[in-house]
Amino acid sequence: MPLVKTWQLTAGAAVAGLALSVAAVTAAGPWDSGQRKAERDKAASWGRTGGADHDGGAAAGPLPQAAPSAPGVLGAVGPGVPRGQAAAAPADALAARLRPLLADPALGTVRTASVVDTATGQVLYESGAREAMTPASTVKIATAAAVLAALGPEHRIRTTVVPGATPGQVVLVGGGDPSLTAKKKSPAGSGGSLVALAADAAQALKAAGTDTVTLAYDDSLYSGPVRHPIGVNPNIAPVTALAADEGRPDDSTSGPVDRADDPAGAAARAFRTLLAERGVKVTGEPVRAKAAAGAQPLAVTQSTPVAGLVERMLTNSDNDIAEALARQTALASGQPASFEGAEKAVTARLAGLGLDTAGSRFADGSGLSRADKVSAGLLTGLLAKAAGPDHPELRPVLTGLPVAGFTGTLRARNAGSSPAAGLVRAKTGTLTGVNSLSGTVVDATGRLLAFAFLTANSPGPEGAEKGLDKLAAAVAGAP
């Protein structure tokens, strides 16, 4: 089977899966090695919050029906369909649909666009596609691709407990796991567990005849400022190598909420309590200390695989995971685990994928910084790489994208009776005056298309989001 038809069949099958499992979308199920199970649980799928300015919006309304165009997609890639027919819907027809929509004043004074056929690499439409724009949270697509290229989808981040420098001391060592939780049952699915770590550490200590310790914690893996340049903000915690539940004081797993000022210290105090509950007395308050190099762990807990972290980050627009993954990219690239080191590492990893990063800047991993600069062409290039056969390690970039009308930050967008419901998968981006949308869609001929729309100086988010949703629906072939 020719390569292009293979990818068309893959795209068609994906749409059919969505159409046949609307009810299953509501079922709980964790991310597992980058593969979705029922599009995640209700907390992730139904939550409309997460990331900068993704904390609300229009009411979700009724749940969407199965994507109405799924049968047509399957028909287009069935037996006997010649390549020429599958390539229908020429670029000029797409341009005719997109141009008037791009002219919508609600999108602001600057609008750039790129639409690419992922199977062939053919540019179907572009307008200012190489102009660097502030991308807001769509920069998370770049963060995702960089960390997957650096570490691979199966890599897990370790949090350990090691013997301290003085007798009777143990050190809790942070590895930068953004999925680490102090809750007995993680509200966000699988991930590193301080509860399990405390149980294993207590068992090891008791086996050695120790039931009283002092506790230190080591968060020295990261360097540079712990605060994002935007300062104290409910959309992001201080960026530290040791944090439990993203420094959240409640059971939330995404969206804005006030965070702990010292997530590492808070995690250490939670660990002290967990040790005490398991029969190990901790004297004094936890203190910050650096673990000895080469110290053998008494206990270890591991994060969700990187693929699952990428999916959670993209679905919920999770800024804390984004900054953690950017620093993991830096560490894997021999750079300091800081904002500056992450910027250099992400840029290098994307260039290593053969992408043109000229004019780009990755001042952070989350898109909260207005200093970030990305072009629409770079975003569609990244999505095409993730869809292609040469980089299967990048596939979670696609599987993590929210589904229009169904999941994450797109649950209430292109929903209900919209012909794009269930077909559009895209990352949203919102800052004041900045709105963006980038993702994939299966068009009426069965092609998997990548698109990116970046705008600036919009008069308000509501009108801009509606305009972007119309553009995405137009790429899908909707009138």
Catalytic annotation, residues: 137, 140, 317
Euclidean distance between CA atoms 252 and 259, whole angstroms: 11
Q: Rounded distance, CA 246 to CA 258, Å?
A: 11
Helix (H, G, I), strand (E, B) or coil at 25: helix
**Euclidean distance between the first and final Cα of the chain, in Å?**
32
Q: Tokens for 448, please give them.
A: 């998997």
The string of DSSP letters for 201-225 reads HHHHHHHTT--EEEEEEE-TTS-S-
Q: What is the C-alpha separation between 177 and 313, in angstroms, rounded?
A: 13
DSSP character string of 409-438: GGTTSS-TT-TTTTTEEEEEEEETTEEEEE
Helix (H) / strand (E) element for 71: namely: helix 70-76
User: CA torsion sign, 21 to 25 to 28 to 31?
Assistant: positive
Question: Measuring CA to CA, how many Å separate 99 from each of 89, 156, 284, 320, 386?
Answer: 16, 45, 66, 36, 27
Residues 6+ apart with CB under 8 A from 405: 64, 411, 413, 414, 415, 416, 418, 420, 421, 422
Q: Give the residue among 83, 146, 145 at the shortest CA–CA distance from 450.
A: 145
CA torsion through residues 344, 248, 134, 356, sign: positive
Residue environment code for 346-362, b if the CB has 16+ CB neighbours within 10 A, otherwise e = bbbbbeebebebeebbb
CA-based radius of gyration for the chain: 23
What residue ranges in 66-211 does DSSP mark as E strands?
110-117, 123-127, 158-163, 169-173
Handedness of CA 23, 24, 29, 30 (dihedral sign): negative
Answer yes or no: are the C-beta atoms of 235 and 364 closer than 8 Å: no
How many angstroms separate the CA atoms of 164 and 217, rounded? 10
C-alpha–C-alpha distance, residues 153 and 146, integer Å = 11
Structural tokens at position 414: 């292109």
